[in-house]
């Protein structure tokens, strides 16, 4: 692709966004930097299922459909959801096509990823961000889906949701938060179900307000330097991880630090580090690593929120203003996340 062509496409993309929002902008209601809230879900709505990352089999697909039907939702599956290409659920172009198709399909009111794995970052350049801006919808997932959540929030300026994938455990805790936030449009305060089961460990006490941003640590750190990350200025960062030795968590946090991200934050939450080991001895504990990186920032921070590869999950609106209390381990939404 020539330089002129790249400039044209870049300019065209920005112009497309501007043209789609100009009527409202003229009324003083919307600007290109306004973060849009997708419409709320209602019983009877159709949810689009896609596989933008790892492989999905037919049994998993049927199980996911059954879970969503129990919530009173209809299901429409992506055209390529059962494709296979190596360890990916189809070729990059086809997985991206399913994402774009679900946003353009007016019968689909929300989009949920089947699972994580790996592959979402490969399709980021193929996503139609102006289309998403003009057709905002609930888009939800976690783990590898982090890259799509952050890219859509950054490039389309639409709130996305770090929550269960279709193959998650749809238990009462998870469903209650999802219904309150996505169906009822409530501004809830999220707090751990049982402090004895998952204890909140305070890294630094205090309260803070800011825009909530985050996801899987390894996915996020691998995106540093790309054009698909949102602004970190006065943000509250939440992260989660699974199956990483503590020294690797240290390495990824160091990358965020040297990239100038950590010093822009007003708050920090480490959800769960599931199956994270000390690794080769001698080693720091995870809390020692967090204290090394986070304490010098002088911001409220804690470990142990119900975020990540755990059965009980919050539904976190990425891009929304929240207030956190590190002493209590709470995340309070300051406004609704859906329209």
Q: Is residue 183 assigned to a domain?
A: no
| In a shared domain, residues 114 and 215 | no
Catalytic residue among 135, 162, 293, 309: 309
Residue 240 annotated among the catalytic residues of the structure? yes
Catalytic residue among 143, 147, 168, 221: 143
| In a shared domain, residues 235 and 145 | no
Predicted confidence at residue 226, as pLDDT, reads 97
DSSP secondary structure of 56-118: --HHHHHHHHHHHHHTT-EEEE-TTTT--BTTBSS-HHHHHHHHHHHHH-TTEEEEEES--SS
Domain with residue 111: its CATH number is: 3.40.50.10740
CA pair distance 61, 65, nearest whole angstrom: 6
The fraction of the chain above a pLDDT of 90, given in percent, is 84
Q: Is residue 129 assigned to a domain?
A: yes
| In a shared domain, residues 21 and 107 | no
* Least confident span in 45-49, 119-123, 279-283: 279-283
Residue 143 annotated among the catalytic residues of the structure? yes
Mean pLDDT of 42-51: 98
| In a shared domain, residues 304 and 208 | yes
Domain that holds residue 115: 46-170
| In a shared domain, residues 322 and 208 | yes
H or E segment at 254?
Answer: helix 246-258
Q: Is residue 178 assigned to a domain?
A: no
CA pair distance 83, 5, nearest whole angstrom: 32
pLDDT exceeds 70 at position 14: no
Strand partners, 158: 36
| In a shared domain, residues 12 and 141 | no
Domain with residue 266: its CATH number is: 3.50.30.60
pLDDT tens-digit map of 64-114: 999 999 999 999 999 999 999 999 999 999 999 999 999 999 999 999 999
275 torsion bin: left (phi>0), alpha (psi -120 to 50), beta (else): left
CA pair distance 276, 248, nearest whole angstrom: 10
| In a shared domain, residues 10 and 91 | no
Residue 101 · residue 39 · CB < 8 Å: no
pLDDT tens-digit map of 298-323: 999 999 999 999 999 999 999 999 99
| In a shared domain, residues 209 and 275 | yes
pLDDT exceeds 80 at position 206: yes
Q: Into how many domains does the chain fold?
A: 3
pTM: 0.90
> How far is residue 92 CA from its own chain's centroid?
20
| In a shared domain, residues 232 and 279 | yes
Looking at 137, 170, 203, the residue that finishes a domain is 170
Predicted confidence at residue 195, as pLDDT, reads 53
Q: Is residue 320 assigned to a domain?
A: yes
| In a shared domain, residues 157 and 62 | yes
Residue 309 annotated among the catalytic residues of the structure? yes
pLDDT tens-digit map of 325-336: 999 999 999 999
Q: Is residue 224 assigned to a domain?
A: yes
Q: Is residue 177 assigned to a domain?
A: no
Catalytic residue among 135, 162, 235, 240: 240
Q: Is residue 137 assigned to a domain?
A: yes
H or E segment at 286?
Answer: helix 286-294
Token pair 């009111």 is found at 109
| In a shared domain, residues 158 and 288 | no
Q: Is residue 283 assigned to a domain?
A: yes
| In a shared domain, residues 4 and 69 | no
């Amino acid at each position: 692709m020539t330089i002129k062509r790249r400039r044209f496409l870049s300019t065209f993309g920005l112009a497309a966004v501007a043209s789609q929002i100009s009527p409202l902008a003229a009324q003083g209601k919307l600007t290109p930097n306004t973060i849009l809230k997708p419409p709320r879900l209602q019983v009877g709505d159709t949810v689009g299922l896609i596989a933008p990352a790892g492989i999905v089999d037919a049994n998993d697909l049927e199980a996911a459909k059954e879970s969503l039907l129990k919530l009173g939702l209809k299901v429409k599956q992506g055209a390529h959801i059962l494709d296979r290409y190596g360890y990916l659920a189809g070729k990059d172009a086809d997985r991206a096509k399913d994402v774009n198709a679900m946003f353009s399909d007016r019968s689909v009111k929300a989009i949920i990823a089947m699972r994580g794995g790996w592959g979402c970052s490969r399709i980021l350049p193929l996503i139609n961000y102006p289309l998403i801006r003009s057709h905002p919808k609930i888009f939800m997932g976690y783990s590898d889906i982090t890259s799509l959540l952050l890219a859509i929030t950054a490039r389309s300026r639409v709130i996305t949701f770090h929550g269960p994938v279709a193959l998650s455990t749809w238990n009462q805790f998870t469903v209650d938060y999802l219904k309150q936030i996505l169906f009822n449009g409530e501004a809830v305060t999220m707090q751990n179900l049982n402090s004895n089961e998952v204890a909140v460990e305070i890294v630094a006490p205090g309260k803070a307000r800011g825009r909530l941003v985050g996801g899987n640590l390894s996915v996020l750190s691998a995106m540093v330097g790309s054009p698909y990350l949102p602004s970190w200025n006065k943000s509250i960062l939440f992260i989660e991880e699974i199956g990483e030795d503590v020294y690797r968590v240290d390495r990824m946090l160091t990358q965020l630090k040297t990239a100038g991200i950590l010093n822009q934050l007003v708050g920090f939450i480490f959800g769960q580090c599931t199956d994270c080991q000390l690794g080769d001895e001698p080693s720091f504990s995870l809390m020692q690593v967090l204290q090394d990186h986070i304490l010098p920032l002088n911001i409220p921070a804690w470990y142990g929120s119900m975020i990540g590869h755990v059965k009980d999950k919050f539904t976190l609106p990425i891009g929304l203003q929240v207030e956190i209390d590190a002493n209590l381990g709470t995340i309070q939404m300051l406004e609704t996340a859906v329209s």
